[in-house]
A and B are shown apart, each in its own frame.
Chain A
């Protein structure tokens, strides 16, 4: 047995097929909406990534040195590579820029994960012209998930600006501690920090309520009522209204305490959940702040999903071809032509070049094919029910 380094995986079998189908659906959807593929380098210069990532993420980067002596890391985040690329390869008048990608990322795993590498699909829209672009990206994301058979996935939507806004009167070190407690999900610590601080009543009231603001669209009203006349959630409200108009209203949960690990988000943010899995499939949001760090003005939105998690829940997860096509007594040319007619009609099949009919059938049964056909006479056998049907 030849093993891989600890934390590394080969994707094969049905999972790889499902991942490939999901990747194809995703790229096909986004490319037809003008998102251009992006294939980032596996190595990124440490100096380009270091200042843009929070310490908790930095400590998980896998650092390497190139033979040219340049300190690098294996890419731990494709958004960063994409934004750096777009900032340096396109003039401002070429915006908005739309890209999509499907590639591996590499990071020291955080519990409960053990893998050093994972597959990510994602899209970025930079230099957008308004709220429509947010909705475009989210609706395309939902549409991709639908195409993969994940029609029950849910977007948990929040806003990364809400907490910093409520923490404005708090000194920076304390505000960072409070924000950290909430993003780590430590509510006793969060409330205890609030108790100990001298925060104006107006802001304290908002901060005390934020962890409780989770639920349907009505949460937006409750959230805004706390701000007495201000509309800090108007962006989120617009997104929810548009997605509802598009028929996705039942797939949105609002969570105004939502925070994402990467600190560069600066507007609406979201996580994607399937009811069939306890862990998030991925997420994303608005990251204008990252753009400005990279020297670009404007607004941007993006997301990334774990392709393996998505594939393992998708309709493609059991995806071997259902049909085994036996060549019978045909020559390879004739057999391939007849099989080609079937694939041309959208069927997916696997050829069997076994010499005898029985050995081909036995192989089909052992390998779990549901249907078998003899290309020479058109016989079709339903292996589950063992009945003959005309081809």
Chain B
């Protein structure tokens, strides 16, 4: 039996829709209720918190999974990224008050010691380290946009889709770090051991991606 981990919450419906369009068993996925494990015609679906999904795959509990690019980057788990579904595309950005813009366009030394609030401490650390800047990272779990307003941080690193929340909090995008979207990933072991099955599922999902509106 092949096990696929699916993130609950915002992206669950997109992952479930891709599975349905790919022709994989999905009858019970349309109304999972409170169930966390669903078995349908040779496939076991595990419904997990989005940030836990890479862990299930990394430890080989799940063979495949759908996970957001931001979650994958933050986890740093050794997985195989099989397909970019392009669903839920958004950007990871550094944002802050417009007055900060000049510091980002100047010498890297201008960024030294800056306080950065984020849900993604690993991405933030990698990003600013790659720029040679040592910053103070504050790990928050929500309402990141509040941090500059309340003087807790100079800027934030967060995902942005429309930018409306940023604007509502008088913040603007200072730099784009990367774009992220929903990805199909697999465990390294399953990719080696069960490649024909994995390849077939990837092919079906790839076909479904082509038909799915963005």
Q: Which residues of A contact B (CB under 8 A)?
A: 110-112, 154, 156, 185-189, 212, 214-215, 253, 255, 258, 271, 273, 275, 277-280
A-B CB contact pairs (8 Å), 10 listed: A112-B77, A185-B79, A185-B188, A187-B80, A188-B183, A277-B60, A278-B61, A278-B189, A279-B189, A280-B189
Chain B, residue nearest A188 (CB): B84
- Measured between beta carbons, the chain A residues less than 8 angstroms from B84 are 188
Query: Which of A154, A187, A214, A278 is within 8 Å of B81, CB to CB?
Result: A187
B126 CB to closest chain A CB, in angstroms?
11
Assess whether B148 is interfacial by the CB under 8 Å rule.
no
Q: How many residues of B contact A (CB 8 A)?
A: 26
Contact across chains for B193 and A253 when beta carbons are under 8 A apart: yes
- Sorted nearest first, the 4 A-B pairs with minimum C-beta distance are A278-B60, A185-B80, A214-B195, A111-B76
Assess whether B48 is interfacial by the CB under 8 Å rule.
no
Query: Which of A156, A185, A253, A277 is within 8 Å of B78, CB to CB?
Result: A185
Contact across chains for B59 and A188 when beta carbons are under 8 A apart: no
Contact across chains for A156 and B77 when beta carbons are under 8 A apart: no
Cα(A275)–Cα(B83), bound, Å: 25
Contact across chains for A255 and B192 when beta carbons are under 8 A apart: yes
With A112-B58, A278-B60 already in contact, the answer to whether A214 and B77 are too (CB < 8 A) is: no
Assess whether B75 is interfacial by the CB under 8 Å rule.
yes
Assess whether B114 is interfacial by the CB under 8 Å rule.
no
Cα(A230)–Cα(B199), bound, Å: 27
Contact across chains for A253 and B58 when beta carbons are under 8 A apart: no
Contact across chains for A112 and B189 when beta carbons are under 8 A apart: no
Contact across chains for B75 and A111 when beta carbons are under 8 A apart: yes
Contact across chains for A278 and B59 when beta carbons are under 8 A apart: yes
**Apart from A111-B78, A271-B192, A278-B58: 10 A-B pairs, beta carbons within 8 A:** A154-B193, A185-B79, A185-B191, A186-B81, A188-B84, A188-B183, A255-B195, A279-B59, A279-B189, A280-B188
- Measured between beta carbons, the chain B residues less than 8 angstroms from A186 are 81
Assess whether B55 is interfacial by the CB under 8 Å rule.
yes
Assess whether B138 is interfacial by the CB under 8 Å rule.
no
Q: Is the interface of A mostly helix, strand, loop or mixed?
A: mixed
- Measured between beta carbons, the chain A residues less than 8 angstroms from B59 are 112, 278-279
- Measured between beta carbons, the chain A residues less than 8 angstroms from B61 are 278
In residues 53-88 of chain B, which contact A (Cβ within 8 Å)?
55, 58-61, 75-84
- Measured between beta carbons, the chain B residues less than 8 angstroms from A214 are 191-192, 195
Contact across chains for B195 and A188 when beta carbons are under 8 A apart: no
Contact across chains for B81 and A188 when beta carbons are under 8 A apart: yes
In residues 100-138 of chain B, which contact A (Cβ within 8 Å)?
none
- Measured between beta carbons, the chain A residues less than 8 angstroms from B58 are 111-112, 278-279
- Measured between beta carbons, the chain B residues less than 8 angstroms from A154 are 193
- Measured between beta carbons, the chain B residues less than 8 angstroms from A215 are 195-196
Cα(A187)–Cα(B76), bound, Å: 16
Contact across chains for A279 and B60 when beta carbons are under 8 A apart: yes
Assess whether B26 is interfacial by the CB under 8 Å rule.
no
- Measured between beta carbons, the chain B residues less than 8 angstroms from A156 are 192
- Measured between beta carbons, the chain B residues less than 8 angstroms from A187 are 80-83
Cα(A205)–Cα(B134), bound, Å: 43
Cα(A271)–Cα(B78), bound, Å: 14
Cα(A111)–Cα(B79), bound, Å: 11
- Measured between beta carbons, the chain A residues less than 8 angstroms from B83 are 187-188
Taking each of B61, B189, B190, B196, which has the highest tally of chain A beta carbons within 10 Å of its own beta carbon? B189
Cα(A238)–Cα(B60), bound, Å: 31
With A111-B75, A111-B76 already in contact, the answer to whether A185 and B81 are too (CB < 8 A) is: yes
A275 CB to closest chain B CB, in angstroms?
8
With A111-B58, A187-B82 already in contact, the answer to whether A273 and B77 are too (CB < 8 A) is: no
Query: Which of B78, B183, B189 is within 8 Å of A273, CB to CB?
Result: B189
B73 CB to closest chain A CB, in angstroms?
11
Cα(A271)–Cα(B188), bound, Å: 10
Cα(A377)–Cα(B79), bound, Å: 60
A167 CB to closest chain B CB, in angstroms?
20
Assess whether B187 is interfacial by the CB under 8 Å rule.
yes
Taking each of B76, B77, B79, B191, which has the highest tally of chain A beta carbons within 10 Å of its own beta carbon? B191
- Measured between beta carbons, the chain A residues less than 8 angstroms from B199 are 212
A109 CB to closest chain B CB, in angstroms?
10
- Measured between beta carbons, the chain B residues less than 8 angstroms from A212 are 195, 199
A10 CB to closest chain B CB, in angstroms?
23
- Measured between beta carbons, the chain A residues less than 8 angstroms from B195 are 212, 214-215, 255
- Measured between beta carbons, the chain B residues less than 8 angstroms from A112 are 55, 58-59, 77
- Measured between beta carbons, the chain B residues less than 8 angstroms from A253 are 192-193
